[in-house]
Structure 1
């Protein structure tokens, strides 16, 4: 099991379509399908129910997707933390200003 497989599973859960999930992950549909099948074999449980033109998550699949989302989010936060430590002045800053005052206080 690797992070890429978990990202594929999350994309499939979000889009509910193998072709669309493959496009979102920038891989071919057979590649995505094979990796999901490999993940199912490794876990020993079916994660998705495959029907013509329909993909549904099994109960185990829903649990795995929930955990996969957390794992992927944690890894992204870890990467962001490393980027910030490398260059602390990079990143984004949000500033809240009333829309009526913004044009007078902030440059365009």
Structure 2
């Protein structure tokens, strides 16, 4: 719970200070995501930091709605790094959520979405 609250507080701070008006500098379809879209991923905080953490249903519901490419851009962002997101753990969230139509084999940085 402590990690989720910390994750949400950091997201809000970053959003308020203007660092997250979408995914900066990437261009394309992922730039349309606003701070509010990323705040919806707050329930994923602990699961994005620890591959063995339980993924809450609320996290899975939000990840299901998100395009794999945009999720990848989000977890590779500087903001995610500052929040302690571990890319190796974050890319497994769709699988841990049992999302059947996930983009298996999608390359996200140095990682492959399982």
| TM-score normalised by L of structure 1 | 0.29
Higher-Rg member (1/2): 1
| TM-score normalised by L of structure 2 | 0.28
Q: Which has the higher helix share?
A: 1
